[in-house]
């Protein structure tokens, strides 16, 4: 069963209320949105977006009991401006972003996100896109592969892994998740195979970020989402890797430093899951939550 990450903290900081309009820019299976709708009853509304058609279908099914209070669309949060202008021209009372790969995507081997199960090396969140992880692995030159693994995965053995991928694909294309894991297993030093983090984590993260362009325009998107907030509204962001969290931190600080809109960062340091949640939900372990508020006096 899908477990929304840091649900209690999200609700405590978002503060949903009756009659409020809230944007969930990465609705996934709808767990956070369900709780927001329940907390904002009887007439609070959710505008839910996701680039993944399967997530949209699942969220619509899960939130069907709320009827017209939940508007769910296949769209990327980076394209939220047009949706909000049409649906909530006066802005929203709060917004949530749960960044990164969802449990639903990881659990479906056919999507190719997981290094724990055999599946096609895909990793597309929006399957209308054409570029897959297999395309990157089998077509990119060594230098570009190295850059992606180092920059997006912070992988210390990026160059070694890129060279091994080139050697393997010269014999046979690398088309499945476990075929790539096999390359990694035979490439990284033995101690790395038994570290706290699975040895394939950083490589898979890097390829996923590259395929889905997850960091492209994140700063600009956060600024636009902040701009949608009504006075007193809050933007809550959950990130799961340091690259995204760094962007969120710096963007929030920059917005708070600007005098015009009256923004304030409410989380001096990122909040993290409780020990109990981390033990019960492994996906939550790396989560960091940050909150930005638009001042009551903001125009």
pLDDT at 261 over 80: no
Q: Which two tokens stand for residue 59?
A: 């969220």
- As a whole number, mean pLDDT of residues 225-231 equals 95
- Confidence at residue 1, expressed as pLDDT on a 0 to 100 scale: 47
Residue 106 parent element (H or E) = helix 103-107
CB neighbour class for 92 (10 Å; exposed up to 12, middle 13-18, buried from 19): buried
- As a whole number, mean pLDDT of residues 141-145 equals 98
The answer to whether the beta carbons of residues 203 and 214 sit under 8 Å apart is: no
Half-sphere exposure of 67 (CA within 13 A, CB side): 5
Helices (H) and strands (E) counted in the chain, each on its own, are 14, 7
Separation CA 96–CA 2 (nearest Å):
17
Q: Which two tokens stand for residue 235?
A: 């933007």
Separation CA 286–CA 154 (nearest Å):
15
- Confidence at residue 105, expressed as pLDDT on a 0 to 100 scale: 85
The answer to whether the beta carbons of residues 157 and 245 sit under 8 Å apart is: no
Q: What pTM does this model have?
A: 0.93
What domains are there in the chain, each with its CATH number? 7-100+215-294 (3.40.50.150), 114-212 (1.10.150.170)
Show the beta-strand stretches assigned E in 66-187: 70-74, 92-98
Separation CA 271–CA 81 (nearest Å):
28
Angle, CA 58 vertex, CA 54 and CA 61 arms, to 5°: 145
CB neighbour class for 262 (10 Å; exposed up to 12, middle 13-18, buried from 19): middle
The answer to whether the beta carbons of residues 238 and 273 sit under 8 Å apart is: no
pLDDT at 119 over 70: yes
pLDDT digits (tens, 9 = 90+) for 53-92: 999 999 999 999 999 999 999 999 999 988 998 999 999 9
With a pLDDT cut of 70, the percent of the chain lying above it is: 98
pLDDT at 297 over 70: no
pLDDT digits (tens, 9 = 90+) for 165-222: 999 999 999 999 999 999 999 999 999 999 989 999 999 999 999 999 999 999 999 9
What is the rounded average pLDDT for all residues in the chain?
94
> Which residues is 97 bridged to in the sheet?
237
Residue 231 parent element (H or E) = strand 229-239
């Amino acid at each position: 069963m899908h477990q929304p990450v840091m649900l209690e903290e999200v609700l405590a900081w978002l503060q949903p209320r009756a009659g409020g309009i809230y944007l969930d820019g990465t609705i996934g299976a709808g767990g956070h949105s369900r709780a927001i709708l329940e907390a904002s009853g009887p007439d609070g509304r959710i505008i839910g977006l996701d680039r993944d058609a399967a997530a949209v279908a699942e969220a619509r099914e899960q939130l069907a009991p709320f009827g017209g209070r939940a508007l769910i669309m296949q769209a990327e949060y980076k394209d939220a401006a047009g949706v909000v202008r049409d649906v909530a021209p006066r802005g929203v009372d709060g917004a949530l972003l749960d960044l990164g790969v969802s449990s639903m995507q990881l659990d479906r081997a056919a999507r190719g996100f997981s290094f724990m199960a055999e599946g096609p090396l895909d990793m597309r969140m929006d399957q209308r896109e054409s570029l897959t992880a297999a395309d990157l692995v089998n077509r990119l030159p060594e230098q570009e592969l190295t850059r992606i693994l180092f920059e997006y995965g912070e992988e210390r053995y990026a160059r070694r892994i890129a060279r091994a991928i080139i050697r393997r694909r010269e014999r046979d294309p690398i088309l499945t998740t476990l075929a790539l894991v096999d390359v990694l297993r035979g490439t990284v030093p033995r101690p790395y195979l038994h570290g706290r983090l699975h040895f394939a984590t950083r490589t898979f993260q890097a390829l996923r970020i590259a395929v889905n362009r997850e960091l492209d325009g994140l700063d600009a998107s956060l600024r636009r989402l902040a701009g949608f907030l009504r006075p007193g509204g809050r933007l809550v962001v959950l990130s799961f890797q340091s690259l995204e969290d760094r962007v969120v931190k710096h963007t929030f600080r920059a917005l708070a430093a600007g005098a015009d809109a009256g923004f304030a960062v409410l989380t001096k340091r990122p909040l993290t899951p409780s020990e109990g949640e981390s033990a019960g939900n492994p996906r939550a372990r790396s989560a960091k939550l940050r909150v930005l508020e638009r001042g009551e006096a903001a125009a």
